[in-house]
Amino acid sequence: MTKQTRRQQKPDGKAAAIPLQTFDAALETALEARVQERTAALQQEKAQLQAALQSQQQSEARLRQENIQLRATLQTQQQNEARLRQQEEQFRTLVNNVPGAVYRAATNEDWTIAFISDAIAQLTGYPATDFIQNRAQSFDKICHPDDVVRVNREIRAAIAARQPFVLEYRNIRADGQVVWVSDQGHAVYDANDKELWLDGVLLDITALKQTEEALRRSEERLKLITDALPVCISYVDRDQRLQVVNKTYETWFGQSQAAMLGKQLSEIIGAAAYQLVQDKVERALKGEAITYEMELPYRWRGSCHVRAILVPDVDDQQQVHGYYALIMDTTEQQALLRERKQAEEAAKQQAEREQLLNAIAQRIRESLHLDDILNTTVQEVRLLLNADRALIYRFQPDQTGVISVESVGDPWQPLQGEVIRDARLTIEAFKWQQQQGQTVIADIHDAGLEAFYVEILVQRQVRASMMLPITVGEQIWGLLIVQQCVAPRTWQPWEVDFLTQLATQLAIAIQQSELFQQVQQFNTVLEEQIQEHINQLQQALTYEALLKRITDSVRDSLDENQIFQTAVRELAIGLQLNGCTSALYDIKRQNLTITHEHLCYDLPSRVGHQIPLASEPNLYSQVRQGKCLQFCPLPEFSSSVQAVQAKYTILACPISIAIESVAVAAKQADHQLEIIGDLWLFRPRDYCFSDMEIRLVQQVSNQCAIAIRQSRLYQAARAQVVELERLNQLKDDFLSTVSHELRTPMSNIKMATQMLEVTLFSKPNDSMSASQAASVSSPDSASWQKVSRYFQILKDEGEREIKLINNLLDLSRLDSGREPLFLSTMQLKVWLPYLAEPFIERTKAQQQTLLISIAPDLPPLTTDFSYLERILSELLHNACKYTPSDETLMVLARTVTPVADQLDSYPFASDHPIELSVTNSGVEIPAIERDRVFDKFYRIPHNDPWKHGGTGLGLALVKKLVERLEGTIWVESANKQTSFVMRLPRSLG
């Protein structure tokens, strides 16, 4: 502070002057006091703050310590919780792995469940949550009503006795199924010995119960079986006492099962029987399985043959506690076994004999030759039976017998080939001996044979004989004989049986051999028949080729002379005849004329020779009836036939054709046959004509008749064409006269055009200047071109008007109905090609193809052919105009049979009308235009790309003409093809 003088204010408000030094000291003192005061306050506050800070630091230290302790506690708790969860998981895993449902329940009246494992769901079908606190289910609810009281009672008793319990009872699952459970548990007590809860586990023992039940039933069945078996089944302990016996023991030993249990084995079976089996029993008790068969003298049952099996009862430590015994009475089996052995021995011998028999039979059957069969038989029989002689004696049809084959040993007399002619040794004599039992002879001197028979046998060194018949079919074919020469012999039954069987086999083999010979004969005959059939087939093929050649030749010709000459030539050469002739009948003159012939050998020529039909009335009357005759001329034949033809076999075949004329065709539908001639074929007298040759000649005759008919129809058609041409000319003259006046105006137009042509195209004269002449005559000038174009238009229109007028006149005449028809009958197959000739050239020029198809069976047509020609010409003209290049035109002619619903539309339908159609490809008429194409002056719009033009009267005129001919016409168009089809009656008038 600066020392300045300060003014001190007085109380009266006036300032007093205070010395500056004093003021500073006072101020300093005050300030120091204030500073000290403030310092003291600050120190006090500092001390307070330090104390507070220290307290806070101590609090923070305690908080940090508490936080550390809290964290340690929290970590410990988390670890405990983790261990607890792990222990709980282990507990749950342990509980879930327990084979059953683990539970804890209160010991109250309802057994309130505090915990139960999830396995309860598999056991009961209810989830574990339904059981907690008996929420939805309880033990009493799922326990079977018949078991619930017992279960509660026994569990309460175990708790009261401080004992665990094990119970088995039934529960009812959610699906209604009953299951068996084993409930094992105990009560838990506190320090005061008070029940806290009940712990236990429920196990599913349903399968065990089922197994126990099955075992019980199995034991019952086993006991029933063992009791029912006719064998002794028992169990004997180490002391040789019976512990188990079945019912059979009662039958064997006369005591009940209960009485025998616990007794010694020796006491039951007897001492004598026990001595025989004692060693075996002791060995079984030492652990050895024993099987034995022996005769035992039982005390009560007596002696019997038994078969026994002793099986030791050995435990896991190899200690023997006893044995099981199975004893069977085999007394009857032993007897049957002895019989069986005897039967087997006999069967073995029989099998050996059958094997030998089969071997002999096989060797017999390997050959179908009778001699080989018989020789094989006697040789095998003699060797098998060890006999001195074996032979086959065959009965002959003449009541004799022959020793056909033989096998004989040395030194005995051979008898093969010997013929026995004694009438007393016949089949009837053998049958008598068979009835007397004299066919198997042990000694000829003791068999009661007739003296003559004994003498015959002695002469042939026979002492014993056995004869068996060989029966083939129902007849005794012969005898199979086996003889013993050295001494008498007793024949064994099997030898007789063997020889009987062998005789049967031999009979079969003989029958097969004879059948084989018959088959060989049949094969020979069959081969001959097959060869004959082959020859016939070859001959048939040859004749078929001949017929085809003749048919092709005669069908291609319209000349009768060529037809007949071809037929007789081909028949004479093809059948290798002496000759063949043809003749034509003249019914009016009642004679025939030989017109053609082909001679190969010594026949004289007879062409032009006339023979009266009355000369051989029987012969020619049958031929005229259509019969084919084969004969040889006899002496009673007329000289005209006999003189030339007496040394030949003759085949006469008629030639008949259908009567075909306009009158007959118009009045009757069925054609009558007319015999116009015949064919005669000649061959040597010693040979006749076979049926196959006769059929061939008849077919040739028919083909000739068809060809002749076609030829005559063709000639008639040619005559009709000439007549039609004449009529057509008359028609043209008539039309020319009638249309003269109508053409006059048009003739003037045409004359004007001709004069214009002369004027325009003539050479220039001298009076014209050079420029005028050039302007008129120069083809390149504009005036010239105009004049030429106008001239052409005038000319074309004039022609068009003339055609229009002609068509109108024709339509007018047709509408009037006064125009007569000029009917004629023609074959379309002849007429149509003639009509189409102009169009063939035209189609070729336009690169088109014209085809004509005519049905071969097309009948003649009777109609106005001028109308038909104009119709077809107009249709062909249109087809040529509108058919593109490289396309086809076709004219088709055929007969049709309309279906039933068309009979009303066609009055002539029942007469099979003729259908004519003109078809062109490459064009198609729209369906909407087809009904209008026949209208007058109608032309299809936008359907003339070639700009041919037309009046539209052509198809209208065609329709009128068809209707005038009583026919119908329509158009069909599809798939780039158009057909105009018309149907006409076969005959008008």
Q: What integer pLDDT is reported at residue 739 of this predicted model? A: 52
pLDDT of the residue at 666: 39
Among positive and negative, which fits the CA dihedral 612, 614, 617, 623? positive
Report the predicted TM-score, pTM, of the whole model to 2 decimal places.
0.33
- From 219, 197, 215, 217, select the one nearest 207 (Cα to Cα): 215
Residue 316 burial class via C-beta count within 10 angstroms: exposed 0-12, middle 13-18, buried 19 and up: exposed
726 CB neighbour count, 10 Å cutoff: 10
* Residue 771 to residue 765: CA distance in whole angstroms: 12
CA–CA gap between residue 21 and residue 873 (Å, rounded): 172
Cβ(172)–Cβ(144) below 8 Å: yes
DSSP letter for each residue of 959-987? HHHHHHTT-EEEEEE-SSEEEEEEEE-SB
Q: What is the pLDDT of residue 435?
A: 82
Per-residue pLDDT at 903 = 47
- Give the pLDDT score at 47: 85
Separation of alpha carbons 22 and 699, rounded Å? 191
How confident is the chain (989 residues) per 10-residue block, as mean pLDDT? 42 49 74 82 83 82 82 80 70 65 88 87 89 86 91 90 91 91 89 85 87 82 77 90 88 87 89 90 91 87 88 90 90 83 80 74 71 83 89 88 91 90 81 83 88 88 91 87 92 87 83 82 88 84 84 81 87 87 86 87 82 82 84 62 64 81 41 80 86 88 86 84 69 48 56 62 53 54 60 63 66 68 88 89 89 91 89 88 89 80 48 88 84 71 55 77 90 90 87
Cα–Cα distance for residue pair 365/520, rounded to 1 Å: 17
Write the secondary structure of 694-761 as one string of H (helix), E (strand) and C (coil): HHHHHHHHHHHHHHHHHHHHHHHHHHHHHHHHHHHHHHHHHHHHHCHHHHHHHHHHHHHHHHHHHHHH
- Closest among 332, 280, 282, 336 to 309, alpha carbons compared: 280
61, 53 contact by CB (below 8 A)? no
- Residue 286 tokens read as 């030492």
